Amino acid sequence: MYQVAGPTPPDLAKREAAAGSGSPDWLSIASEAYEQSTSYLDSNLRNEWTKALYAFQSRHAPDSKYNTDAFRHRSKVYRPKTRTLIRKIEAAACAAFFSNVDVIDTTAMNQGDPKQVASAQVIKSLVQYRLTKTIPWFQVLMGGFQDAATMGAVCSYQYWRYRTEKKTHHVHEVDEDTGQGKYDENGQPVLKAAQHDSVVEDRPCIELQPLENIRIDAAADWMDPIHSSPYVIRMVPMYVYDVKEMMEAADDKTGQPKWKKASDAVIRSALTRGLDTTRLARANKREDPTTEAKVTLADFDIVWCHENFVRRKGKEWVYWTLGTEFMLTEPKPLKEVYFHGMRPLEMGCAIIETHKTYPSGVPQLVEGLQKEANEIANQRLDNVKLVLNKHFVVKRGAQVDLRSLVRNVPGGITMATDPNADIKEMSFQDVTSSSYQEQNLLNLDFDGIGGDFNPAQIPHGKKGADTARGMQMMSAGANQMTEYLLRTVTVTWVERVLYQLVKLEQEYETDQVVMAIAAEKAQLVQRYGIDKVTDELLNHELTITVNVGMGATDPNAKLQKLISGLNEIGQIMANQAIPPTMKSEAVKEIFGLLGYPDAKRFLGDGQQDPQIAQLQQQLQQAQQVIQGLQQQIKSKALDHDAKVKTAAINADSHREVQQGRLAIERERLQHQSAQFVIGSLLDRISKVNSGRSTSQSTN
């Protein structure tokens, strides 16, 4: 799935050639990779990111004319068009992702293997539980969409957090000579204190990473920059006391090694050596909390630790450094620390720009229009202020109360020796309607490129604009733009993140309570006869699908489309003239038009419930019995007709006629009994199906 081999960094290749077969200088590799990537970032991306963050915060860019002395007393309004657009994108993402109870859908690679199908159901329940209970999925997802829309890209770190602490308990003391337990003079067992490791945290985590804290090679593949770059550096701000704790203990569960001990002088060398303009812009007129100590205690100072991922000779290595000055761990193969062998980072984007490692964000797309919108608004405000508050020309050296003239208080008095000669009022024409028309045109251009739709901008009385249907048709194009952005983030980031989360669950999940809940929701016993979740059951390759399709931003429209599609499918399935293969393809096509990747969520995966199969078999047998009874009734009726005709000739056959009628009545009662059995079987099948749908909706 991911590229695991690629070009070796040029500096590393030169150093290896010079050193021959000697081991590489890993600290120098980390330092040079950091310096190279930081130089590119500072030269090409810092300014763009700063402007994007300023636009998101509705602030004029640092180099804007509104920040100069010439505009100190002029109107400096910033119309929050960019922030409004990004907030609407977040709202659309919220409606698309959280209107469905099931976040993801898992599918087994081999649908014919019951164990793989059961594994897919269990993994789905496990991931669903983690995303709703232990992972703040709403904040992660909404923050990811905000980063992608604002900065142009989003990056996250997926890992398993495992932490224990020492706890004391008492055990029966044993005599070393006899091997028997000790007792005191009263016959009570002698107890001694013992320590054990108690699990404090044992869960998967997804953490958003600021883009300025990630370093990759600028020439990485634009479709997968994290896994194609020859190196990735994850910069982590840590408290000094956290660094010292990492030097005391290792993580036996995930394989994270113990850090090397360093003196306080070495640790302090990793303090921030300069201001990060991107973090300052994000802080919005506040101090960067990672540059200064929060308190006077040294333990609460912030130092920067780097997790370095380096590819050397086709093999992935990972190690930690304290800044670029000190090796905290020795390099280890990536698979020994992260079992799946993938870098635990994923980077996605909101706007696809081919052959560009760092794509543009929404603020860059609308930057020019945002400037013009601000310009028109501020000029109009200045004009209105000049109309309402006149500008005066005062003769130099004249005796005029300038302070009173400037204050221009209603009802005030301004003293002047010769008002007609010393004071001249400057008149300004009121703003014309052309400025408002220009604003409307800019709004339309802004909303067109941003995928926004504002009904207030539609001229009143325009044909079709005053009806709900007309509004819906006009907003269709804007919805498609928004849904395209949502789909881009989903494919480039969300699905990859959830794939790594599934891998973490398969490898590290040991919580028996969580697995029991997942097994119950997946109905393992009822469907597959499996009463326990084991490692063998979990470790199957699966396909991950996020339950978000095109057309998901409007819940009402989505519901109407789904109902309409299901009605059409029902008519197709009921039409006996259509071949089964054509029905299957038609169903796929309808669900594709509805925005879903397939119809498995609604029509099942081809595996039939055993209880329904048994009931259907009984129904088939009952139908065969009915057919036999119908044949018997038909033959009895023919015999009866013959006997009736004979009785008409022979009056003595009255007794035989009565017997024939009784036989027919008996067959009719048997037929009614068989129909009752079939009806009860159909009711049981209906109840089973409704129970399955109820349990699925509950889960």
| Digit-coded pLDDT (tens) for 414-431 | 888 888 888 888 877 887
- pLDDT tier for residue 611 given thresholds of 50, 70 and 90: very low
Which pLDDT value is given to residue 213?
94
Weakest-pLDDT range from 131-135, 206-210, 661-665? 661-665
Domain boundary among 399, 426, 453: 426
Of all helices (H) and strands (E), which one includes residue 633? helix 610-649
Vertex 189: Cα angle to 188 and 191 (nearest 5): 130
Which pLDDT value is given to residue 457?
55
- pLDDT tier for residue 646 given thresholds of 50, 70 and 90: low
Average of pLDDT values for 662-670? 70
Tell me the HSE value of 390 on the side-chain side, using a 13 A CA sphere.
Answer: 12
Residue 674's domain spans which residues?
A: 610-698
Ramachandran area for residue 284 (φ above 0: left; ψ -120 to 50: alpha; else beta): left
Please say if the pLDDT value at position 137 is more than 70. yes
E runs forming strands in 9-152: 104-108
**Residue 623: inside a domain:** yes
Domain boundary among 377, 404, 426: 426
Highest mean pLDDT among 155-159, 161-165, 294-298: 155-159
pLDDT tens per residue across span 6-17: 444 445 444 444
Which pLDDT value is given to residue 548?
66
CA terminus-to-terminus distance, the chain: 30
- pLDDT tier for residue 642 given thresholds of 50, 70 and 90: low
Please say if the pLDDT value at position 605 is more than 70. no
CB-neighbour burial class of residue 671 (10 A; exposed 0-12, middle 13-18, buried 19+):
middle
Weakest-pLDDT range from 11-20, 45-54, 372-381? 11-20
pLDDT tens per residue across span 529-575: 665 666 666 666 767 777 665 555 555 666 677 777 777 777 777 77
**Residue whose C-alpha is closest to residue 309's, from 210, 215, 205, 211:** 215
**Residue 630: inside a domain:** yes
Vertex 28: Cα angle to 23 and 30 (nearest 5): 105
Whether 171 contacts 192, CB under 8 Å: yes
Whether 149 contacts 350, CB under 8 Å: yes
Which pLDDT value is given to residue 515?
75
**Residue 409: inside a domain:** yes
Identify which has the larger pLDDT, 203 or 289.
203
Domain boundary among 426, 444, 472: 426
**Residue 585: inside a domain:** no
CB-neighbour burial class of residue 349 (10 A; exposed 0-12, middle 13-18, buried 19+):
buried
664 token code pair? 């027919």
**Residue 328: inside a domain:** no
Weakest-pLDDT range from 36-40, 345-349, 436-440? 436-440
625 token code pair? 């019995």
* Residue length of the chain: 699
Please say if the pLDDT value at position 148 is more than 80. yes
Number of domains in the chain: 2
**Residue 539: inside a domain:** no
Share of the chain above pLDDT 90, in %: 29
Query: What's the whole-number average pLDDT of the chain?
Result: 78
Please say if the pLDDT value at position 619 is more than 90. no
- Please report where in the chains the tokens 């089973």 appear, as a residue: 688
Weakest-pLDDT range from 23-32, 446-455, 672-681? 672-681
Whether 153 contacts 351, CB under 8 Å: no
**DSSP secondary structure letters along 536-559:** HHH---EEEEES--TT-S-HHHHH
- Please report where in the chains the tokens 């703003």 appear, as a residue: 431
Identify which has the larger pLDDT, 217 or 383.
217
Which pLDDT value is given to residue 498?
92
Alpha-helical (H) ranges within 264-366 are 264-268, 277-283, 334-337, 362-365
Cβ neighbours of residue 84 closer than 8 Å, sequence gap 6 or more:
452
**Residue 399: inside a domain:** yes
Average of pLDDT values for 163-181? 79
Q: Which residues of 528-562 are buried (b: 16+ CB within 10 A; e: fewer)?
A: bebeebeeebbebebebbbbbbbbbbbeeebeebb
Of all helices (H) and strands (E), which one includes residue 30? helix 26-44
Average of pLDDT values for 130-158? 94
**Residue 367: inside a domain:** no
Which pLDDT value is given to residue 48?
94
Helix axes 495-508, 114-133, angle to 10 degrees: 110
Radius of gyration of the chain (CA): 38
Identify which has the larger pLDDT, 612 or 412.
412
- pLDDT tier for residue 615 given thresholds of 50, 70 and 90: low
Average of pLDDT values for 603-619? 52
pLDDT tens per residue across span 70-111: 898 899 999 999 999 999 999 989 988 887 767 777 776 666
